[in-house]
Structures are given as C-alpha cells and as structure tokens.
Amino acid sequence: MTRIRLEYHGHVAYITLDHPPANTWTLASLKAFLQMMVELDGRPDVVALVIRGAGEKFFCAGADLKMFADGSLAHAREVAEAFGHAFEALARFHGVSIAAINGYAMGGGLEVALACDIRIAEQQAKLGLPEASVGLLPCAGGTQRLTELVGPGWAKRMILCGEKVSATLAYEMGLVEGVVTEGHAWEAAQQMAQLVERQSPSALRACKQLINQGRSTHRDAALPLERSLFLALFDDANQREGVAAFLEKRAPRWRYDQSKPKE
C-alpha cells in the first residue's frame, strides 16, 4: 500500500501523504510519487499542485528508517535514487507547486517541501533536517535547496547542529513564504492555487523557467532569454486572449493545450 493520493479539482492537483502516524516515505510511496509527477507532466491543463500531509500533527517526518535497518548498500542506493528522481521531478513540474506544511516537516518531509515553489506553514509546525543525528545526510536535495533559500549559515545550523526551527523563524529566514494559524495551511494553499489559475498557463511556464534559470545562470545570460521568451508569447493564443480580456473587462478564457514558448 503506497499511502499517497492524487486528486484533481479544476486545474489544480492535490497530493496527500497519508502514511500514519507520521506520513513517512517508503520506497513504494516514493515510486508512486514519481509516477504521479510523470502523470502531471502530461497534463498541461494542470497549472498548480498542492502537497499536504494527512492528519493534524505531521506534514511528513521523512524516510521510514526501517528501510535502512539492515545496512544494505544496494537498498540504500535504491532509496536514495528514488528520493532524487521523485523530488527532481517535482522541482521540474511545469506548474506552481505549493507545500501546505500542517505539522512536523523533518528530513525527507522538509526536502519535498524544499522542492516546491512555495511553502506555507502552520504556526505550530517544526522544520528540520536531522539526518546526521542517525548517521545519515539529506540526500534528496536538502543540502543544496536549503542553502539556496536560507544561506550557508542557517543551513549549517539546521544540518550540522540538527536545529529544528519554528514556522515563525522559518518565515524570517526565508524558508517558508507564509505562516498561518493552526489548521489553515490547506485553505491558504488552495487560495494561492486559485490565484495561479487566473494566470496564463503559457506565461506561467515561461516565468517559472526564467526564475529557475536565473538561479543557476549569470544575469547577463538570463536577461536576453527573458526578452526572447517575452516575444515568443506573441505566437501564443493566450497572449491575445489575455490582452483582449483585459480590454473587454472580462475574465480570460485560457487555452491549456499550448506548448511552452520557444526559446
């Protein structure tokens, strides 16, 4: 049993991690998550993805450590690769991914949130990467994505010292983009996904591509690409629809079968 669910509502997909009591990752659930991301990759009509944990206490407590109890190197390699493939597919998702952190987000639980575009945490949530305390390390992007978000100092405190941070501190650090009261992360994430639905799906793809590329490319190279993708949108029906809808003071009727803008 994979204990993970994918549902669709309009142009938004919802993934629920449901492996009581702590929504931990297993090899089966990681493979199931990857298949869900492959499915979403073939759905241009889906512009947003919300990920949440079932229950009230945990978003996700990370990997089920029983997977590593036998010390098998071959099995550890399979799990590490499954983590990498799953979360890298999430990071590449063409739409906007939002983590609704409704409780503890530890280890691989924080790493799946780090692979999302936006993170919303409830005020009682705790976030951490405690792998070193059990002789392991974050292998699903944690060392890289956390450092990118909060800088090396805080990344070292959380990874090397095992510090767990509150939602409020996570917001101050830039680790999460919003903090809400207990029980409201799901609602807040849904509202944000509805905002995403209002945007042109073609423009969304181009903007996300530019933002992500700008993190790894020198600005002098990214700026010409920005202008290039801007002009490419003029070959897209959604550009004409967006301008017409604005001038006619009506809601746009987006098309979701458009290919991403050419570079």
Catalytic residues: 111, 131
- Cβ contacts of 107 within 8 Å, gap of 6 or more: 61, 62, 63, 128, 129, 130, 131, 138, 142
Beta-strand ranges (E) seen in the chain are: 4-9, 12-17, 48-53, 58-60, 96-101, 104-106, 118-122, 126-128, 165-166, 178-180
Q: Token digits for 223?
A: 């700026």
Packing angle, helices 27-41 and 73-91, rounded to 10? 30
- Cβ contacts of 192 within 8 Å, gap of 6 or more: 48, 98, 118, 120
